Every structure is written in C-alpha cells, then in structure tokens.
Amino acid sequence: MADKTSQRGPGNVYPGYDVLAKWNSPSWNDKTRDVISHRLAVANEPRFFTAEEFESVTAMANRIVPQARLPSRIPVAALLDRKLQDGVLDGYRPASMPRDGEAWRVGLNALNAEARSLHSLRFAEIAGPDQDALLQRCEAGELHAPEWAGMPPGAFFKHRLLHDLVLAYYSHPAAWNEIGWGGPASPRGYVRLDFDDRDPWEAAEAKPGDEVTALRINRHVR
C-alpha cells in the first residue's frame, strides 16, 4: 500500500523511508493493518466538537505541532475528535480536571473568551504570534476568565491541550516516517534494543555527509 506520507522532502533524517511499505510484510499483521487503515481514513471534519470548537482545536494544533515540513497534513484535530467521540480515555486524570471531553469544551470556550477579551476575535481568528502568547499564558496559569469554571488553565494546557495534540500527531504514519518509527511492534517486535542498534526492519538514520547509505537501506526496509 502506498500513500503520500512516503514522499519525503530534502534534509530528512530518514530519507527514502516509508512505514507504509511494511503493509504486506512480516512486520504487520491483520490487526495492525486494520488499526492503521481506520486511522488513515479519518476525515478532517468534526463529530464530537462543534464546527467552531473544531476550528479552535485546528488552530491550536497548528501552533503546538506545526507541519510545514510534512508533504501531507496530519489531521490532528480530527484524530483527537474521533478519540473523544469513541470515548477512548487515558484511564486517569488529575483531581482538578473534569473528564476529557468536558475539559476540552471548557478549555476551548475559555480560550475563546480570553481571545475575545484581548483582541475582540475568537482564538482561531487572531494572528499566530498572538495565539502563541495566549497559549504561553495558559501554560503558565495566568488566565482568569470566568469561563474556566474552576478548571486550572495550566492543568488544561499540560494534561489536555499539549498531551492530546502531541499524541494525536504521533499516532499517524506521516509522523512515524518523520521519526523513523516502524509502527506497532506486532507481530515481529523489536529485538536489537541496545543504544544506536537497529533491527533490519527499522529505518536507518542518515549520518551527516552520508545520506546516500541511509537512502539505500530505507528503500528496502520492510
């Protein structure tokens, strides 16, 4: 199976590597292929979030995990949306935080209120540097709009916004290509676990001045 996630640009650490080339190899079994198929099929549209909430999550994802170097965009907001829609939870949360979906709705409403107070616009409508400044204040716990409803802004940033968006980003094969990861270790697994050692079915990292060797190896990684 092929996908645009395999098209790597110049200066990549793992040139020529395409994790989806493992599709019919011994590295992946039917369950792995099924999970990844569903992940690749996620449409970039909301089911859990409202349209306005989804726009805010998308804007936040663009600041937390920018994708300028990727050849095809990872639908970070949609991946998070489906996780919440399906009720997939971490199994734990701080006592100061409501359940994941509720925390997101409160946090998005509060950040939009903060943006309107400062700029008379919703979060998704303000300039990138202003979005960064607002997120930095959120991380530092320096926001105080009544819409936070008792939820600490710093906790929301750490335990939901940052945590969930980064996990959504790295759940996608395009991000696996970026870091040279081989996907779920099922059924083959990983054997050579020493420092700077790799299994033949793992991507080779390009060494400075010798990208050709990594390119040659990665074209045959299965």
Model pLDDT for residues 113-158, shown as the tens digit of each residue: 999 999 999 999 999 999 999 999 999 999 999 999 999 999 999 9
Residue 53, token pair as written in the block:
């909430």
Model pLDDT for residues 174-207, shown as the tens digit of each residue: 999 999 999 888 888 888 877 778 888 899 999 8
Judge whether 113 and 153 are in contact, CB under 8 Å.
no
Cα four-point dihedral sign 158, 120, 73, 82: positive
Among 15-19, 39-43, 58-62, 188-192, where is mean pLDDT lowest? Answer: 188-192
Q: What is the mean pLDDT of residues 94-112?
A: 96
Distance CA 173, CA 37 (A): 10
Secondary structure tally for the chain: helices H, strands E: 9, 0
Enclosing H/E stretch for 135: helix 128-139
Residue 164 in 3-state DSSP? helix
Q: Where are the domains of the chain?
A: 4-41+183-218, 51-169
